[in-house]
Every structure is written in structure tokens, then in C-alpha cells.
Structure 1
């Protein structure tokens, strides 16, 4: 049974949520836990503070709140929130499903927040990533070209010649991306690019 750590603004809310989840999960008063559930009636700056504090646990976070400003979504995701649910419209079954999904590494966002989230990601890509020469997965245009040629089976010298770079530049770029994404070798780098949809 999954262990859930409930973070609430007060004891009464915490006990109410614990009663709601009773029988579905083991409630963890202290870490370790598989998932943290941050609950607040209305999304306030203090809610963001609780999410930031909870992020230190290093477990997926489910946020159950109301009146969340869409502008906070990317920040919440950056703190490890894997599911965002509106407390005014979420059923017990949906909450249980979200906790299980977060524990598996999946994400759930309330339908009313999905549109604003997609707009934020699109704006981020258009205004920041693309002008700097990066794709949505954090690869530069040059890195994608190097990986494309590597996937074709070309050697470092052939890649350098095709792109008019020095061999040392190609090696440096490959080393940096392998290190940045914690990959082990060039084969994993190509596989990463394929999974990310850039090749």
C-alpha cells in the first residue's frame, strides 16, 4: 500500500483529508512517503511555500486546491508537482487516481488548467527556447544536427566535415549533452533524441 504524506494548512483540514483517504493508502505523518499530498482550500502564497517545503522530501507531489492561478503552473511543476486538482470539483476517486498516477511518475492536470498550461509551454518555447536555439527538450539546433548525423552512423570527423565544425567542437558538444542529460554514451544520446521526438 502506498504511503501518502498529507500537508495541510491546519489540523482539521489534515484530519478531513486523512479520513477521506483512509483505507486507500497508508498515511505517513513523517517521511518517508511515496507521494506528498498538499491541500489548501484556496491557492495562496502560503500554499506555494508549503509546496516548496514539501519538494525537499524528493517525492512526487499532488496539489489539491481551488482558485489556482494558471501562471503558477510551471513553477509548481518545477517543484515536483505531478498532479494538480481543483478541490471544488475533484471526487474521492479522482484524488485516489491522481495519487496513484503521481506515484507512478505520471501527471494529471485538471481540464480547466490544461489550456493555460499548454499556452505557457508554447510561450516559453517561442519566447525563450527558440530564440536561444533550443528545442523543447533542451537540445540546441546544433546538438540535434550532430545527433542526426550520429544516428546515420557517421564518425566524428564526418560529422565535423558535414557541419563545418572542428572535431573537437563536435566532441565537446557531445560530451556536454551526454553530461547534461546524465547519459552514458553516444548511443544513449541518440536514443534520448529519438524518444524526445527530435530525430
Structure 2
């Protein structure tokens, strides 16, 4: 987006707590104008159901789902203050779900629930914000080379990669960025959840 001429503000954890309403409000209000937001904050937290600490489950949902809603709702309010273009568009919000929202594996109950929530609210959000000229689209990436994936043994990485039909590699930040750019430019794309996973469908483990 920056290379395309947009002014980009990055709010990164732990610098910005997406679950803190006032912290996010302060960040949003620091912008003279706002035309979009890309919600990427997220945490993992894999564990089996029996013995899964409730606080841990709650934390994953709080960051991934409630944090996403907190950012998008405050961003939408700021975007709505702007002047629309000739087609009535004021901006776009891109949220991040996961292929785990659809293909959750053993140990991913909290993560899958949180990301399924992000996917599930996409259409209601798009319908709600349509009157403001704000589009909402969600990207559901597969396994990607990001800090969330963490250090991974070579054999596990190879096994995971072998399950991806094509291209046979993990996702890259550039793949995500390229799709965000397309979403921003394509003004007819709205209310949709787009899988970005090389046609991967995860097994139970």
C-alpha cells in the first residue's frame, strides 16, 4: 500500500493493545483522515480440550475476535467521517481470519473459534457499514512464514508444505499484501471471506 502511494500507520502488538478501546481510539483519532484498516493482530494458543485453562481460551478469543471488532468498529467510525468518492465509497476494512476457521485441527479449539468468529461477522459487518460506503472483506490465510508460526523443525515444515496442493510452499507476507492491495483496488469486492492457502484443506492433526 505504501509503495502504491498510501500513507500507512502500523499499530503493532505489544505497542498497541487491540483489546484496549481507549488505546485504539487514541491511535485512530491521531489520523487526520482514515480510508481503511487492515486487521492482522492475532495470537495462537494450541491445547487439548481437557485441561485447557479457561483464561487461556478467553485470551485467544479476546485478542483475535474482540480485538478485531474493537479496531474495525473504531476505524469505521473515523472512516465514516470522510467524504465519499463519486460512487459513495469512503473506505475498506480488511480483517484476518484463518483456514483454521474452516479446517480446525486438534488443539485449535480456541484459535478456530476466534477466527471463525471473524469470518462469520464479515457479511453482517459489510451489510451494516454499506450505508456508510465502507466495504469489509476478510482474508483467511493458510500456514504462513510469520512470527505466529514460530520456530519449526525442518521435518514438520516439510510435512506441512507437502500437504499444500500448489504452490508447494508456506504462505508469504507478500502473498497477503498482494491480496490486500487487490481488495483495496477492487471496489466491487465486499462481504467476502477469501481463503489464501494454496488449496490446502487441513486434516484433524
Confirm or deny a common fold (TM above 0.5).
no
TM value normalised by structure 1: 0.37
Q: Compare the two structures and name the one with the higher helix fraction.
A: 1
TM value normalised by structure 2: 0.36
The structure showing larger relative contact order (alpha-carbon pairs under 8 Å, at least 6 residues apart) is 2
